[in-house]
Amino acid sequence: MYLETLLQNLPDYYTGLDRELLTRAYQFAEKAHHDQKRVSGEPYISHCVAVATILAEMKVPPDAVIAGLLHDTVEDTSVTLDDIRKNFSDEIAKMVDGVTKLTNLPRVSRGDQHIEDNLNGSSTADSENGDTAYNEQGQKSRKRDLASETLRKTFLAMGDDIRIVLIKLADRLHNMRTLNYMPEVKRKRIAKETLDIFAPLANRLGIWQMKWELEDLGFRYTNPEKYKEIATQLNERRVDREEQIQKTLRNLKQVIEAAGIKVEITGRPKHIYSIYKKMQEKGRSFEMVMDLRAVRLIVPDIPSCYAALGVIHTKWRPIPHEFDDYIAAPKDNFYQSLHTAVIYDDGKPLEVQIRTSEMHQNAEYGIAAHWRYKEGRKRDDEFEQRINWLRRLMDWRKDVDDASEFIDGMKTDVFQDRVYVFTPKGDIIDLPSGSTPLDFAYHVHTEIGHRCRGAKINGKLVTLDFRLKTGDQVEILTAKQGGPSRDWLNTNLGLVNTQRSRAKIKQWFKKQDWEQNVAQGKVQIDRELRRLGLESIDANHLSQEYEYKNVDDFYEAIGCGDLSLGRVIARISDLTKGKEEDILAPHPATDTKSTSDSVTVLGLKGMLTSVARCCNPVPGDDIIGYITRGRGATIHRQDCPNILRLKGDSERIVKVSWGEVRNTTPVAVEVKAYDRQGLLGDISNILNNESINLSDISLKNNHNIVLIKMVLEVNDLVQLSRVLTRIESLQNVMEVHRLRPG
């Protein structure tokens, strides 16, 4: 049954020999997995066939579909890569190896000691009484490392053979389609990873079909309530909307064909996650999201695209700032189309996409569209261009040994959207979104990056943490000699945001004297632990946690930037969960009052809310909102007599919900600085950007030296470290540290 399904979905260009090989691969996989079941109870071979079918529908070559059938044999059965080489080919074995999970790390963390022994240097003789929570945290940490190493292995292989990552995406897509059989904790973790890594990867490869399905499935499990809410609203109006779209399609077709342009018109499908993102980004309600009604025009050639655009703009009024020409200026993933939005006959917006058939194939299948066209050199040249572009995006990959850092680099340098900025001579530089002047400098030339001391954006001096925007003209101010600052690698300061720049800075420090790096690393870690009030933590045992041979190697890794302070603090925070009172001592709980701060109004991000005095709702109550002129939404209990009387006025009733309750810990902090005007305002801005509540503050001024004592309500050690670093980087601030009791 499974084999017949697969054979029916194979592309027409597969030969009889290809089909015979696929049948043999199916029999091989079925035998290997014969006694295995999925969590759903289905035979395991059903997953292998589903992955191969997804690949076949993309019309990839037979070898990739065979590798899709065999992708779990080495990982989950007694089959080895040598068996696959003997029975099939080296090429298929390489693809299977590329998607096979690692079962152990090249350098596995020590499992024979409790975490508290590692951090505080206590005797292993006490291990029998150790808290099992530490072992669990250590296990979780090792599992995360293993997952990151596996992804790193796949992404490195992707640079050599793009088919490997297509198999990985197909594998993830089928796993997401059947995720409802998994336990809830696992569902959320896998869904979050899908939204963070796999959906952006499909987008970067231009495979729209996979991108939207991965996003919708990921959203369904990470935010089930919001997913259901939007899905219900879409379903409620489906019949009316479809009837309305059909009328629009007929009208558009008539108008375009009357102008002598051959056209195929379809309604563009709506994806729940994209609707949600637009509601969040633009702060609009469901009804106001611009592209809830959208159509796609497929025309024969590029001149017809612009001719159709002219017809539409002549007939209906275009909406300002809603036109994008991705034909003349394709997106960075090679996507091409014309996008516009007009006010239609009924006075409501209509979004229109116009493209050729070839552009449509590229948009749906992205890099995989290469195999959908078997003839013509042009297609091959474009494919090579895409592969080279991907390799350029990942040209830092060989310099990063740490898997977690590698995955972070993929997120910043490969998955992020791009910004396009200009050099003073007018050359265009393509950088990841969120890049700074330092990232620009290192992109232009390594030496310019090393000697960068300032920057001008559009002729004005800016700080080095300035975020570049598309269209900015960037001029780098350099010193005649010198090198980078170690502060540039401090992730809390946000001075460098691309992996490419970080790799070059680290290379520079690695070339410095070994003893100098050790000394610098010791100073950095000692200062950070002292500032956070963690002097009791033993650096020797911390180095063992990271599997360094000795503490000097640990210091050297920090000194040259191989191991960031942020990651060390995150690891300490991670490993001490369950014994958090040793790290962040909680204060007595303060009296809580009902406020509207944590209330979310459906689809209206940032809307002013206030608690109704008549019923005074508190978190946990069923609530509803009533729009009041000039005062935003007033929050009532659903059983409030006043709101029951107003329910006839349904247009002003809105759905609301309590936001997430954050568990924060009050921490006392002292700031020592030379007094200046605006200092408290700058500190307040940092706290506001971090969403940290300031629950107490006192100030003493002595001979122009000011001591500020504050109590900050922080989420964890990582946030505390970040905010202290940012405050210390302010002008006139000498030092910032945490105050310990006594």
Confidence label for 116 from pLDDT (cuts 50, 70 and 90): very low
- Average the pLDDT over 669-678 and give the result: 90
Cα atoms in the Cβ-side hemisphere of radius 13 Å centred on 339: 15
State which amino acid sits at residue 111. Answer: G
- pLDDT band at residue 115 under the 50/70/90 scheme: very low
Q: Give Cα 35 distance to the centre of its chain.
A: 37
Question: Which CATH number applies to 2-100+160-220?
Answer: 1.10.3210.10
pLDDT at residue 644 in the model: 78
pLDDT at 54 over 70: yes
> Strand, coil or helix: what is 389?
helix
**Per mean pLDDT, which of 170-184, 278-292, 410-424, 727-741 is the most reliable?**
170-184
Could you tell me which residue, 402 or 176, shows the higher pLDDT?
176
Cα separation, 71 vs 50, in Å, equals: 12
What is the mean predicted confidence (pLDDT) over 144-171? Answer: 76
* The residue to which tokens 């116009």 are assigned: 354
Residues 364, 370: Cα–Cα separation, whole Å? 12
Label residue 176 by pLDDT band (50, 70, 90): very high
Which fold, 665-738? Answer: Alpha-Beta Plaits (3.30.70)
Architecture of domain 228-368: 2-Layer Sandwich (3.30)
Residue 141, pLDDT score: 58
Tell whether the model's pLDDT for residue 578 goes beyond 90.
no
| Residue 129 confidence (pLDDT) above 60 | no
Q: What distance in Å separates the CA atoms of residue 73 and residue 66, rounded to the nearest whole number?
A: 12
CA 21 – CA 65 distance, rounded (Å):
10
pTM of the model: 0.65
Rounded Cα distance, 278 and 638, in Å = 29
73 and 30 Cβ atoms separated by less than 8 Å: no
Return d(Cα 365, Cα 206) in angstroms, integer: 7
Of 16-25, 486-495, 507-516, where does the model show the most confidence? 16-25
d(CA 137, CA 580): 13
Helix and strand counts by DSSP (H, E) for the chain: 30, 21
Q: Which long-range contacts (CB under 8 A, 24 or more apart) does 373-377 make?
A: 374/13
H or E segment to which residue 56 belongs: helix 45-57
The whole-chain average pLDDT of the chain stands at 79
Query: What residues are annotated to the active site?
Result: 75-76
* Digit-coded pLDDT (tens) for 341-376: 999 888 888 889 999 988 888 888 777 666 655 444
pLDDT at 3: 79
Q: Compute the residue count for the chain.
A: 742
Asked if residue 426 has pLDDT above 90, the reply is: no
Higher-scoring residue by pLDDT: 207, 235: 207
Please give the DSSP secondary-structure letter assigned to residue 5.
H
Q: What percent helix, strand, coil does the chain show, rounded to 5?
A: 50, 15, 35
Of 137-151, 197-211, 450-464, the least confident: 137-151
3-state secondary structure of 472: coil
Give me the mean pLDDT over the 695-700 stretch.
87
Beta strand spans in 348-493 (E): 349-356, 418-422, 428-432, 452-457, 460-462, 474-478
For residue 68, is pLDDT > 80? yes
pLDDT tens string 70-109: 988 888 888 888 999 999 888 889 888 888 865 544 433 3
The residue ranges of every structural domain in the chain are: 2-100+160-220, 228-368, 416-509, 511-582, 599-658, 665-738
Give the CATH number of domain 416-509; options: 3.10.20.30, 3.40.50.720, 3.30.420.40, 3.40.50.2300: 3.10.20.30
Largest pairwise CA distance in the chain: 90
Least confident range of 13-27, 654-668, 699-713: 654-668
pLDDT at residue 28 is higher than 70: yes
Confidence bin at 131 (pLDDT 50/70/90): very low
Rounded Cα distance, 148 and 196, in Å: 13
Going from the C-alpha of 410 to that of each of 42, 85, 196, the distances in angstroms are 35, 31, 10
Q: How confident is the model at residue 299 (pLDDT cuts 50, 70, 90)?
A: very high
Percent of the chain residues past pLDDT 70, beyond the cut: 78
Over 60: is that where the pLDDT of 23 sits?
Answer: yes
Q: Tens digit of pLDDT for each residue in 588-643?
A: 434 344 444 556 666 555 567 778 878 777 766 778 888 877 667 888 888 788 87
Q: Using alpha carbons, select from 548, 482, 488, 484 the residue that is nearest to residue 518.
A: 548
**DSSP code at position 260:** T
Give the long-range contacts of residues 221-228, CB within 8 A, separation 24 or more.
221/179, 221/187, 221/188, 221/190, 221/191, 222/188, 222/191, 222/192, 222/195, 223/276, 225/657, 226/276, 227/272, 227/276
| Encoded tokens for 284 | 């609009």
Residue 584 pLDDT class (50, 70, 90 cuts): low
Spatial separation of the C-alpha atoms in residues 305 and 87, rounded to whole Å: 50
